[in-house]
Structure 1
């Protein structure tokens, strides 16, 4: 008895899919999906750079912008946790550049700063590199290396980017999430002229007894009177679910209470906004419906827009 048409069609589709996924078991020359070449990001370069001063190595990604430079030069967005965040930030910049000319912002250079290796997150290295040293202390192999990384960015990375591209010195942004956001705040409070725009998403303000809040107080005291030798913008973002709430375990509830992400980040924003310094603009935002990890992606969207804003 002939096979019904629908049955024959389903059988043909199933057999075709099986052959494709198996790399054509019939012996045809097509490569299997798992044998295909690795994907590459367009207009992107990657290299591992050794810091001559510290000997540490960071993996750097650079996506060059589409089209000619604006009259003032390209804005630059430096993205921490590059292993996890660079590809997304670079694609967001490409998406923006593909919009109609009358609707798109100035095309941005995206620079990722990460660590050698294919892991999405390098917990030990990011704690080492993104946390500030204890007051009166110095960096250790485990933590407190924020100034070592910022020195590398200032002495090695930023000059390389400036030599390679036409950049806008008034639109240089540093973006980070979690420990990366902590480094962004430390950079603003200790060397506010290193960048002109700072974007801290879910910053770990709780680190070491909320040490960065003490650094913020020192920053406010040091620059209490004008003139101030910087002009900076700070964007703060935190997820709406990053607040103490019912937790499945007592240990998790204790962590949430200790960190108090929304409370502490909002308090910092309020303090800085109350200064009314023309040299420092602050924008605080709560990202709806996301927790700590989920805040990274919408934070990057806002950080890119922050970097591309007109002067």
Structure 2
């Protein structure tokens, strides 16, 4: 008899694990971690390794893990740890309500449902990071990065501007600079006016976006009205323009070691995530520090 030789079984991802953790606000998060396939017993690996923390983990954990593992065949391969922070979800990739709160910065006038970034960063710094350190006790974490897309990219910028020693590198993919009347730009200006303490190490920044985010084409089966609506939204978000503006503001600042930016031709807001993750992770793991 031809066909399957045995009953199908669930796909099991090696060298990975997940658990649920609670914040001080009693919110539950899904924490997923993976490490190189060459580490048969991750907790017993000895040496140093970079680590990348990723928000919107439900959507990006597998993308980041595969991007890291694929590099093992290359001579420049540097094995690292992937830590994805997401939510208890079933059948979907995003918790729109919680991510809107967690990934947006506080504002002078509170906006209901938004502005919880600082509490979320406290959770990462005080709960998630210590857990990762304890989970890999024989590993020296050589450097740490934060990756975020869209609102997550806004979070990466907010963290750089307000807690720039929390990570060594900030990877902002299609950052939502437009949010709340572009308030992150004033936070950036304040950051640039501050003195850099002599005992701190400058951070690095990478910013990515897709060319179709600001200049969308009309799809073959799309009506003119639908196309005009998408173009109008793109003209509000102005992802390319804002991303370049942020990078140009920061170039040459003593606060930053490097500023790297790249546009992915032919990608839009969701499709660019795979490219920005792979490129950002590879640059951070292997080409550190990026030359910008």
Band of TM-score, shorter chain: 0.7 to 0.9
Is 1:266 matched with 2:241? no
Alignment of 1:40-119 (within 5 A): 40-51=12-23, 53-67=24-38, 71=47, 73-97=48-72, 99=73, 103-118=75-90, 119=92
Task: State the SS of the aligned residue for 1:59.
Answer: strand
Give me the CA root mean square deviation: 2.3
Asked if residue 199 in structure 1 is aligned to residue 171 in structure 2, the reply is: yes
Retained in 2: the 8 A contact 1:243–1:256?
yes
Does residue 254 (structure 1) correspond to residue 254 (structure 2)? The answer is no
Match of 1:179 among 135, 151, 158: 151
CA distance in 2, matches of 1:88, 1:155: 26
C-alpha deviation, 1:254, in angstroms: 2.5
Displacement of 1:306 in angstroms is 2.6
Deviation at 1:48, TM superposition (A): 1.0
Gaps of 5+ in 2: 40-44, 219-223
Alignment of 1:294 with 2:290, yes or no, is no
In structure 2, the partner of 1:8 is none
SS in 2 for 1:253: helix
Cα distance in 1 for residues equivalent to 2:189 and 2:256? 17
Partner SS state of residue 122, structure 2: helix
CA contact (8 A) 1:170 1:196 kept: no
Rate the CA distance shift 1:30–1:129 in 2: closer, same or farther, 3 A.
same
Matching residue of 2:11: 39
Shift in Å, 1:70: 7.3
- Which of 219, 227, 237 aligns to 2:198? It is 227
- Alpha-carbon contact 2:165-2:200 (below 8 Å) kept: yes
- Partner of 2:128 in structure 1? 157
| 1:69-126 deviation digits (Å, cap 9, x = unpaired) | 574x1100111111111011111212223x15xx042201000111101311222221
Give TM-score scaled by structure 2 length: 0.86
In structure 2, C-alpha distance between the alignment counterparts of 1:110 and 1:227, rounded to whole Å? 31
Structure number, greater radius of gyration: 1
Quote the offset at 1:146 in angstroms.
Answer: 0.9
| Moved beyond 6 Å, runs of 4+ | none
Higher RCO (C-alpha 8 Å, min separation 6): 2
Secondary structure of the residue aligned to 1:107 is coil
Per-residue CA deviations over 1:260-281 (Å, capped at 9, x if unaligned) read 1101110110110143x27431
Decide whether the 8 Å contact of 1:181 with 1:203 is kept in 2: yes
2:42 matched residue in structure 1: none
User: Under a length normalisation based on structure 1, what TM-score does the superposition of the two structures give?
Assistant: 0.81
